[in-house]
Amino acid sequence: MAKITHLLHDCSASDIVAEIEVHGAVIVDDFVMPSWLAAFNASVQTSIDRSIPFDYGEPDAMDFLGHNSVRLNGLVSKASHDIELMLDPRLLGVMDQLLAPSCG
């Protein structure tokens, strides 16, 4: 089984990108603070509780996407905590290094 590298929370965007480029994945331990995660989870719980799994009408699609999975659109409107994460310099740095070269 493949082993995924764990990095410490204070790693740089370049550290994250290097692991992704070599191994295809990385886990950044405590990327967000436990208090942030608890607040985020609490802010989206109502939306999760109200979610009704969408029937895609295709058995293969349902098998792939999951029969009981929850998809939340518009997370920023449901959890203002998202903005903090979306503006995290490490996350933005990873996106700049990995995605920007392929953008128009």
Q: What is the pLDDT of residues 36-83, one digit of tens each?
A: 889 888 888 888 888 877 777 788 877 887 777 777 777 777 777 778
Q: How far apart are CA 79 and CA 40, in angstroms?
A: 6
Q: How far apart are CA 67 and CA 81, in angstroms?
A: 28
Q: How many domains does the chain have?
A: 1
pTM score, two decimals?
0.71
55 domain-assigned: yes
**Residue 16: other Cβ atoms inside 10 A:** 22
From 18, 43, 7, select the one nearest 94 (Cα to Cα): 18
1 domain-assigned: no
37 domain-assigned: yes
Q: Which domain covers residue 31, as residue numbers?
A: 6-102
